[in-house]
A and B are shown apart, each in its own frame.
Chain A
Amino acid sequence: MSSTRMAAAAGFCLASVFAAGAASAQVKVGAVLSVTGPASFLGDPEKKTLELYVDEINAKGGVNGQKLQLVVYDDGADANAARTFATRLIEEDKVVAMIGGTTTGATLAMMPLFEEAQIPLISLAGAIQIIEPVRKWVFKTPHTDKMACEKIFGDLKQRNLTTVALISGTDAFGKSMRDQCVAVAPKTGITIAHEESYGPRDSDMTPQLTNIKGKAGVQAVINPGFGQGPAIVTRNYRQLGITLPLYQSHGVASKQFIDLAGPAADGVRLPAAALLVADKLPDSDPQKPVVTGYTKTYQQKTGQPVSGFGGHAYDGLMIFVDAAKRAGSFDKAKVRDEIEKTKNFIGTGGVVNMSPTDHFGLDLSAFRMLEIKGGDWTLVQ
């Protein structure tokens, strides 16, 4: 008799524990971001964006009746650290999905772990290697540098320019974009007549630009690069009085570039996401409500100007949340299938249409060609 009573009591206790567990159950979403270190200007807005929107989603009642709990680790732009944190997310935190890493290196280091654990990963890094070849559990939101090259080449074609010179930074971003540009140039009928490079911390690029200036036949100059290098290239370009059209990459698509390059930036063209020119988009633009909404929220809550990088994090989180809603649960396999079925998702980066062969889903329309005029962006029609 007493033993049945005890069993009943034990059963009751267990049941109440389970009930309590279910009531406060939170679904953990992982993020390994480069919040500090050399890529902090990417990781910092990404972290802020994720925190901001997870709070907002929870305030509205969460997803599928459950609250989200964001678990962020800072890899300091170190791929080894990222891998360690990835293991912790999988084994200790038992996350249902992962948003990150910030850098290509970190993403490539973490991908195999999530593939093996069968947890969806939405990367915020640029390189095309993340989604080519397609891996079952890996997705990404930011534009690729190949698209930037194609967009620039398309614009050149429209201006009847076919022969260009490249001056690229020797950092990872500059190198990768340079390689992509060189690879797609023949397909688009563009000839790269001359190539120069500079170190990411160089303070004067006039020798390289002098060589480009002296090269016969060059009709335009493209500068794949990142950080302060492109600003110095732009200044030196005007210093030498070169009048050829100058193209920068999406890597410098921020107000900071205009501030640093000053009046020299006038006339520079670059491909960039719609987020950057939110207030200049026509009202008919499908992205207008999303990008103005994000801009407003981010600026209000953080007091800082938006960057495309935070936008990528927004897109990643929302693609996951939408997929989980459609799946009706946080079952990893179901959520993965739904992420893959994402269609007509309007994010800050563009309109996303994923498929089993495309885990990225943006096309060239995601990039707008911008020209800097009088210290501000203008849309090139």
Chain B
Amino acid sequence: MPELLQFTFSGLTVGAVYALVALGFTLIYNASDVINFAQGEFVMLGGMTTVFLGLAGVPLPLAACLAIVLTVIVGLALHRFAIEPARGASAVVLIIITIGASIFLRGAAQVVFDKRFHSLPSWFGNDPIRFGGAAILPQSLVVLAGAVMIVLLLWVFIDRTLLGKAIVATAANRLAARLVGINTRRIVGLSFAISAAIGAVAGILIAPITLTSYDVGTLLALKGFAAAMLGGMGSALGAVVGGLLLGLLEAFAAGYLSSQYKDAVAFLVILAVLLAMPRGLFGRASVERV
């Protein structure tokens, strides 16, 4: 029984990390149908910038805020200089542009920062919380709470504000959105900015657990993307559920089956789910842009 609980704790820890990364995909996808593969680099930038500002003597809370601001600037620049000039292109082309941007950002980070691993201190120390024979680190709960907060904020933003509705309108039909006076260019830019902020927050929250380095984004983006697909691309709730599910699958596969095949098991389940529900668990069936 303590094993089951420990595996669950592990799954929730890893799952919360995936969920946070997956959340970043939703907004850009909603506004522009683009899956932003540079999302992992936003996560990396958040963590690494905080680490390096911290090393330079900036107090960590301030460093974290500056890191978010910087990542938002990078997100806006990505939109302005890479996505916007190619606005007539299809979503696939734009996705490939984001892959290029991701490689560029990783290379730049290698030069600007360094090639080592770094860590941030946990918010509430490293003493595990023991419960029923299992142990969980307080930081895991922070990450989980962060994911829930972001989902709530996104929900309020999308469903309760005019600006959020403008994003939904842009996603549904860009021409119609423009006709009713929405500046769709600005809306897509805004979605990049917010996604960058979400990525940076994720990077800062998870750095004490996953550690961070210039290339931390690659695999996180892959797992986060898988989680987002599982939950239904574009759905914030789906991203969190998908992330947690993926984490739990990995933990149980590692614990009960074999640590060699945990990734394979997780991806097999994802394939099975997507075969049965091609839009993911919480995917919308409607907004298809033609």
Q: Which of A196, A202, A264 interacts with B126 by CB under 8 Å? A: A264
Chain B residues whose CB sits within 8 angstroms of the CB of A44 once the complex forms? 115
Most buried by A among B13, B14, B259, B262: B259
Q: What's the interface size class on B, roughly?
A: 35 or more
| Residue A151 is within 8 A (CB to CB) of chain B in the complex | no
Q: What's the interface size class on A, roughly?
A: 35 or more
Contact A204 B211 (CB under 8 A): no
Query: Smallest Cβ distance from A291 to chain B, in angstroms?
Result: 22
Chain A residues whose CB sits within 8 angstroms of the CB of B9 once the complex forms? 206
| Residue A201 is within 8 A (CB to CB) of chain B in the complex | yes
Question: In the complex, what distance in Å separates the CA atom of A2 from the CA atom of B126?
Answer: 93
Q: Which of A198, A201, A260 interacts with B219 by CB under 8 Å? A: A201
Q: Which of B2, B116, B117, B206 interacts with A203 by CB under 8 Å? A: B206
Q: Which of B7, B126, B215, B219 interacts with A210 by CB under 8 Å? A: B7
Contact B117 A256 (CB under 8 A): yes
Chain A residues whose CB sits within 8 angstroms of the CB of B259 once the complex forms? 196-198, 207-208
Known A-B contacts A199-B263, A210-B3, A228-B213; A239 and B117 likewise in contact (beta carbons under 8 Å):
no
Known A-B contacts A170-B260, A235-B126, A240-B135; A207 and B211 likewise in contact (beta carbons under 8 Å):
no
Chain A residues whose CB sits within 8 angstroms of the CB of B209 once the complex forms? 203-204
Chain A residues whose CB sits within 8 angstroms of the CB of B6 once the complex forms? 206-207, 210, 240
Known A-B contacts A197-B259, A207-B254; A259 and B135 likewise in contact (beta carbons under 8 Å):
no
| Residue A80 is within 8 A (CB to CB) of chain B in the complex | no
Contact A203 B126 (CB under 8 A): no
Nearest-neighbor residue (CB-CB) of A41 within chain B: B115
Query: Smallest Cβ distance from A48 to chain B, in angstroms?
Result: 13
| Residue A38 is within 8 A (CB to CB) of chain B in the complex | yes
| Residue A227 is within 8 A (CB to CB) of chain B in the complex | yes
Query: Chain B, 204-245, contact with A by CB distance < 8 Å: what is the 0/1 string?
Result: 001001110101100100000000000000000000000000
Nearest-neighbor residue (CB-CB) of B210 within chain A: A203
| Residue A214 is within 8 A (CB to CB) of chain B in the complex | yes
Query: Chain B, 173-190, contact with A by CB distance < 8 Å: what is the 0/1 string?
Result: 000000000000000000
Contact A239 B219 (CB under 8 A): no
Question: In the complex, what distance in Å separates the CA atom of A228 from the CA atom of B262?
Answer: 19
Nearest-neighbor residue (CB-CB) of A42 within chain B: B115
| Residue A272 is within 8 A (CB to CB) of chain B in the complex | no
Q: Which of A170, A210, A259 interacts with B119 by CB under 8 Å? A: A259
Contact B255 A211 (CB under 8 A): yes
Contact B117 A241 (CB under 8 A): no
Residue ranges of A at the interface with B (Cβ–Cβ < 8 Å) = 36, 38, 40-41, 44, 170, 196-199, 201-204, 206-208, 210-211, 214, 227-228, 231-232, 235, 238-241, 256, 259-260, 262-264
Interface of A is mostly: helix
Chain A residues whose CB sits within 8 angstroms of the CB of B211 once the complex forms? 203, 228, 231-232, 260
Q: Which of B117-176 contact A (CB under 8 A)?
A: 117-119, 126, 128, 130, 135, 137
Chain B residues whose CB sits within 8 angstroms of the CB of A231 once the complex forms? 117, 119, 211
Chain A residues whose CB sits within 8 angstroms of the CB of B126 once the complex forms? 235, 238, 262-264
Q: Which of B3, B110, B116, B215 interacts with A214 by CB under 8 Å? A: B3
Which 9 A-B residue pairs are closest in the complex by CB-CB distance? A207-B255, A203-B210, A207-B254, A201-B219, A206-B10, A228-B211, A239-B128, A228-B117, A210-B6
Contact A227 B7 (CB under 8 A): no
Q: Which of B1-59 contact A (CB under 8 A)?
A: 2-3, 6-7, 9-10, 13-14, 17
Contact B255 A210 (CB under 8 A): yes
Query: Smallest Cβ distance from B121 to chain A, in angstroms?
Result: 8
- What are 24 inter-chain pairs, A to B, with CB distance below 8 A? A36-B110, A38-B215, A40-B115, A41-B116, A170-B260, A202-B14, A203-B209, A203-B211, A206-B6, A206-B10, A207-B252, A207-B254, A207-B259, A208-B254, A228-B211, A232-B211, A235-B126, A239-B137, A240-B6, A240-B135, A241-B135, A256-B116, A260-B211, A262-B126
